[in-house]
Amino acid sequence: MIPVSEPDLGPLEREYLLDAFDSGWISSRGHYVVRAEKQLEFLTGASYASVCSNGTTALHLALLAGGISRGDEVIIPSLTYVATINAVYYVDAVPVIVDVLDSTWCIDPAAVEAAITPRTTAILAVDLYGQTANYIALRQIADRHGLLLIADAAESLGASLNGTPAGALADISTFSFFGNKVVTSGEGGAVTTERADFHARIQQLRNQGNHATQRYFHEVVGFNYRMTNVAAAILTAQLERAEELIAHRRRVVDDYVRLLGPDTRLRAQQVSMGAVPTPWMFSVRIAGASSIERDGIIDALATQGIESRPVFPLIQDMPFVPVNQRTSTPVAEQISREGISLPTYPRLTSDDIATVCTAVRGALPPTSPVG
């Protein structure tokens, strides 16, 4: 069985994990929490990083720190993981769901601009499958309209745009360290920012609204969104190995591009000018496929012991989204219908990739004769 994802945990993770365990500091106090944050600041170039319990609580903290509250409109892309919209609902804000670009699959800046109303307070972009959104255009729009720019960078640790790493491309950025992400702590997340005031609020809110110095004095209603020192030990090792882990994933994606790129029945996610995507999960579109045909290919791969995934369904199709928030997003709809994610992880061998590619090509519908 070739799984779609598998963490790469080695001797360093084991060493730090046992060190945290043996120290007795297994809750959220302990030096690995601080070490992971320092390492994250180093990797992203962000001034401040705060680790937290997962990527969803990271999004919640980002919206709270940014002052997003009841009735505010937050513009999000229709193609993303459910956590993005959930966080908007946590703060009683209104998600305004817009379309994505056919090229990068990330939020369409023109659609963002068209969706702005007097109630809009933030743009929450998502770096889909490791590709950064167009933060150059989004920054201009945000500045022109006085909006907060937040990046859901859960899938893009290690990516960059014009040399600026993910984590330093928006006012506030969030990461996830779930088991299938570029680096993992089992469950975990982080928030990065350039702004000291946002950072202070994030630190306070993740820890029950605690006063910085006065014990058991809580200034605001806070949360327990802390990361344990045990998880932070694994995370520290993963972040110290990030360059190596990303290089191995990049080899996997390069192999896929080389073997599947020439096939005209497939369309890969395009890399925009100045962007270096992080090789998170190699995803392609089966040009013109219906979702039934796409699911047929997933089934065909499964019979050959290869796990694959459909690209995310549209966020507005979730039953909990009110009817008046269900905008029409035709580009995202097509990508979602045609898209498939293939196994991508550091230890995937070249032989495995060749096996996957042969199986994919064999399962594709034959090219229709040109007449």
Judged by the rule CB under 6 A, the positions of this chain that interact with ligand PLP are: 54-56, 80-81, 83-84, 126, 152, 154-155, 176, 178, 189
Report the residue number, 152 or 289, with the smaller CB distance to ligand PLP.
Answer: 152
Query: Please, which residue, 84 or 192, has the CB nearer to ligand PLP?
Result: 84
Please give the residue whose beta carbon sits closest to ligand PLP in the complex: 55
Provide, rounded to whole angstroms, the least separation between the CB of residue 4 and ligand PLP. Answer: 13
- Shortest reach from residue 83's CB to ligand PLP, in Å: 4
Q: Which is nearer to ligand PLP, 318 or 354 (CB)?
A: 318
Q: Give me the least distance between CB of 265 and ligand PLP, in Å please.
A: 27
Residue (112 or 289) nearer to ligand PLP, CB? 112
When the beta carbons of 56 and 359 are compared against ligand PLP, the nearer one is 56
Measured from the CB atom, the residue of 131 and 229 that comes closer to ligand PLP is 131
Q: How far is the CB of 53 from ligand PLP (least distance, A)?
A: 8
Nearest approach in angstroms of CB 44 to ligand PLP is 16
Complex with ligand PLP: residue 28 or 359, whichever CB lies closer: 28
Least spacing, CB of residue 105 vs ligand PLP, in Å = 12
Q: How far is the CB of 82 from ligand PLP (least distance, A)?
A: 8
SS (H, E, C) the chain: CECCCCCCCCHHHHHHHHHHHHHCCCCCCCHHHHHHHHHHHHHHCCCEEEEECCHHHHHHHHHHHCCCCCCCEEEEECECCCHHHHHHHHCCCEEEEECECCCCCCECHHHHHHHCCCCEEEEEEECHHHCCCCHHHHHHHHHHHCCEEEEECCCCCCCEECCEECCCCCCEEEEECCCCCCCCCCCCEEEEECCHHHHHHHHHHHECCECCCCCCCECCCCCECCCCHHHHHHHHHHHHCHHHHHHHHHHHHHHHHHHHCCCCCEEECCCCCCEECCCCCCEEEECCCCHHHHHHHHHHHHHCCECCEECCCEHHHCCCCCHHHCCCCHHHHHHHHHEEECCCCCCCCHHHHHHHHHHHHHHCCCCCCCC
